[in-house]
Amino acid sequence: MIRENQLKCNLIRQKNSTKTLFDSFMTSFKPKKTKCPSCGRTGDCNSFAKYNRYVVDFIKGKPVSSTIEIVRVKCSCGCTHAILPDPIIPYDSYSLFFILRVLTEYAMKRYTVSNLCDRFGISPSTLYRWKDLYKKHRLEWQGLLKTLEQTFFASLVELAFLAPYSSHALSFLQKTGMSFLQSHKNPTHLPRSKSPPDFNCP
């Protein structure tokens, strides 16, 4: 896969849905400008295939599932790569914004766990899995986030104001080999994406 830098601003400023952001990004996506993470060449990728997947956002107080079309590109070296901009979490239907919204509301303690899970249409085990994953990944961001002693909520606020989000997310990816909040490891034969092309934040 190729992670594309789309969120060249902080997360708190981003008000569009994941589907809107994704579709906007893919409208201007140019395979020829993409650098193949396998061979390192730029200009040798072409659109190869497409497939649909779901992405879940939280819109107007409720979870909304949308279909997005993932593009795979194929390089002249023979490798194929799915194009995944920042708001998409690999191997997860829930968007980056959805999970962070759940964790933020959980940290604010406005709802009981039961009510919070009903509100977002998730199970308590999913909530706690995301919480554990977030804490683990937050530790990986040591050096980017100020302190490990800060509260759960304070770390979420700090994350929301990291700017630009994309560059921090790329550092995390290069350090760990996984995207932020990605729960399943990449297949071992896939190299890490090191140099996504630049795109402006919509």
Q: How far is the CB of 77 from Zn ion (least distance, A)?
A: 3
- Nearer to Zn ion (CB atom), residue 38 or residue 104: 38
Using CB under 5 A as the binding rule, whether residue 39 contacts Zn ion is answered as yes
**Interacting stretch for Zn ion, rule CB under 5 A, among 13-21, 51-59, 67-75, 153-161?**
67-75
- Nearer to Zn ion (CB atom), residue 145 or residue 190: 190
Indicate which single residue of 21, 36, 156, 173 sits in contact with Zn ion (rule: CB under 5 A): 36
What string of H, E and C letters represents the secondary structure of the chain?
CEEECCCCCCHHHCCCCHHHHHHHHHHCCCHHHCECCCCCCECCEEEEEEEEEEEEEEECCEEEEEEEEEEEEEECCCCEEEEEECCCCCCCCECHHHHHHHHHHHHHCCCCHHHHHHHHCCCHHHHHHHHHHHHHHHHHCECCECCCCCCHHHHHHHHHHCCCHHHHHHHHHHHHCCCCCCCCCCCCCCCCCCCCCCCCCC
- Nearer to Zn ion (CB atom), residue 77 or residue 157: 77
**Interacting stretch for Zn ion, rule CB under 5 A, among 16-24, 72-80, 89-97, 151-159?**
72-80
Indicate which single residue of 10, 24, 38, 195 sits in contact with Zn ion (rule: CB under 5 A): 38
Q: How far is the CB of 80 from Zn ion (least distance, A)?
A: 9
- Contact positions toward Zn ion, by CB under 5 A? 36, 38-39, 75, 77
